[in-house]
Amino acid sequence: MSLLPIILCGGAGSRLWPVSRESHPKPFIRLADGESLLQKAFLRAVALPGVKEVLTVTNRDLFFKTEDDFREVNAKGYATSFILEPFGRNTAAAVATAALHTAKLHGEQTVMLVLAADHLIADQAAFAAAVAQAQTLAQAGKVVTFGVHPETPETGYGYIEADGEKVVRFVEKPSLEKAREYLASGKFVWNSGMFCFTAGTILKEMQQHCPEILGAASECMEKSPSAAGKDGAQVRLEPGSFGEVPEVSFDYAVMEKCEHAAVVRCDIGWTDVGSWTALSDLSPADASGNRVEGEALLLDVKNCYLRGDARLIGAVGVENLIVIDTPDALLVADKDRAQDVKQIFAELKARGHETYKVHRTVHRPWGTYSVLEEGPRFKIKRIEVKPGASLSLQMHHHRNEHWVVVSGMAKVVNGEREFFVSTNESTYIPAGHKHRLENPGVVELVMIEVQSGEYLGEDDIVRFEDIYGRT
């Protein structure tokens, strides 16, 4: 294999709360054209010459969502394989496991192209040219990074000082004054966070510069089961040994120490979509500088970004605001404080508030559920089950459930009974009963579930059988 793109898909995207959440992070945000950032990264990768497979490193809880995103856009059937982390350990661990996997399956001469799942690149032709240049350097033993020509004195990006293709030094996010100096000098480029090298080269560099990371990752890979899924190979990293891998960024572990680092300067229309300000710039502005996604009525409003999923947003006499409306959370922020949204996310997480983690609509391998209303002793959900999909055989200790089929047909296991429930019919699942819901048809199954009981948390579940391997 000549070129293997590696997509790193994870993170919380805390600066893009409330649309980005821990179980639905930034790569899954849909843009105005309906495609997610992850889908765009996949399509960008498979459009490169010689690519036959894409390897994705992601959290195991995001696996089925990632598969669904790829399946929507993978019309030509490119091979997809996965390394599934039980939890995040930063980018050095991800690169190490990907390199070990690549060397074992495809050989040490395979060129790895490491891409982030949440970046945008506007110029595919320029990107392909930069990758071709990077491949040549990688095959000559270089560890290549991509440096983007800076357009503004951006303080949210890292910088690389370069002398031609040679990396002089890496610089962390600078002050505004320093960023202006870097821009004026012409010697600095933005650090894009994309890399290119052969599997053998990066394993040698990691052995030299961060042997504790490579050693722990190697031990973890030896203990981790590998299986062939219906869309490609899966390696499920063993949690105990993976937890021993030091949590360090790839830049710090390797790039800042590497004597064979090279940079490909490029102008590819790159952005890392790191804040609501950056995301708003992707939408066209009206005569007053306002950008709107969804339905809004504005009166004397200037330089605002308003995004709503379902409800009408009305705004009067305001300027320079970000307004993001979701079914269960509303963000209102000054545009100049867009980077500080991550502090709201951090506080919600510290409080254990569910809005840092999940949306009202939650994706599962079998479909989705949306919480319509809840209160003391009751919760109402709308459940959609994909054709041919099945929930686990399960039991709840503390809640009873009433199921009403709205459309489609359900195959139900309830205790010792197995039967079908058609549209406009219902069934009752008492607490303590083993039960399963399945969609045997070829159309979506939609049903309303009414839960009642002393405790209605999602962790009140015992799984006995599950076709998706969840425990």
Interacting residues of 345 by C-beta distance below 8 A, sequence separation 6+: 12, 14, 15, 17, 356
Q: Is 465 exposed, middle or buried (0-12, 13-18, 19+ CB in 10 A)?
A: exposed
Domain ranges of the chain: 3-271, 285-343, 361-465
Q: Give the integer Cα–Cα distance in Å for 174 and 47.
A: 34
Pick the CATH number of 361-465 from 2.60.120.10, 3.40.50.150, 3.40.50.2300, 3.30.300.30: 2.60.120.10
pLDDT of residue 231: 56
- At the second CATH level, the architecture of 3-271 is Alpha-Beta Complex (3.90)
Q: What is the pLDDT of residues 88-139, one digit of tens each?
A: 999 999 999 999 999 999 999 999 999 999 999 999 999 999 999 999 999 9
Contact 441, 409 (CB under 8 A): yes
pLDDT of residue 450: 98
Same fold, 3-271 and 361-465: no
Q: What is the pLDDT of residues 295-313, one digit of tens each?
A: 999 999 999 999 998 899 9
pTM exceeds 0.85: yes
pLDDT of residue 151: 86
Q: Which of 50, 205, 29, 182 is nearest to 120 (CA)?
A: 29
Residues of the chain with pLDDT below 50 are: none
